Copies of this chain bind each other. A is one copy, B any other.
Amino acid sequence: MKELKDRIQRDGQILGNGILKVDSFVNHQVDASLMDHCGKEFARRFAHLGATKVLTAEISGIAPALTTALHLGVPVVYARKTKPITMPDQVYLTLAPSHTKGRMVELIISPEFLAHGEKVLIIDDFLATGATILGLVRLAEAAGAHIVGIGALIEKTFEGGRAALKSLGIPVESLAPISSMDGGKIIFNGD
Q: Which residues of A contact B (CB under 8 A)?
A: 15, 19, 21, 23-25, 27-33, 35-36, 54, 58-59, 62-63, 66-67, 69-70, 73-78, 80, 82, 84-87, 100-102, 109-110, 112-113
Q: Which of B28, B87, B102 contacts A87, CB < 8 Å?
A: B28
A86 touches B23 (CB 8 A): yes
Bound CA span A76–B60, Å: 13
Copy number in the complex reads: 2
B77 touches A28 (CB 8 A): yes
B80 touches A28 (CB 8 A): yes
- Chain B: minimal CB distance from A59 (Å): 5
A100 touches B74 (CB 8 A): no
Q: Which of B87, B100, B113 contacts A85, CB < 8 Å?
A: B100
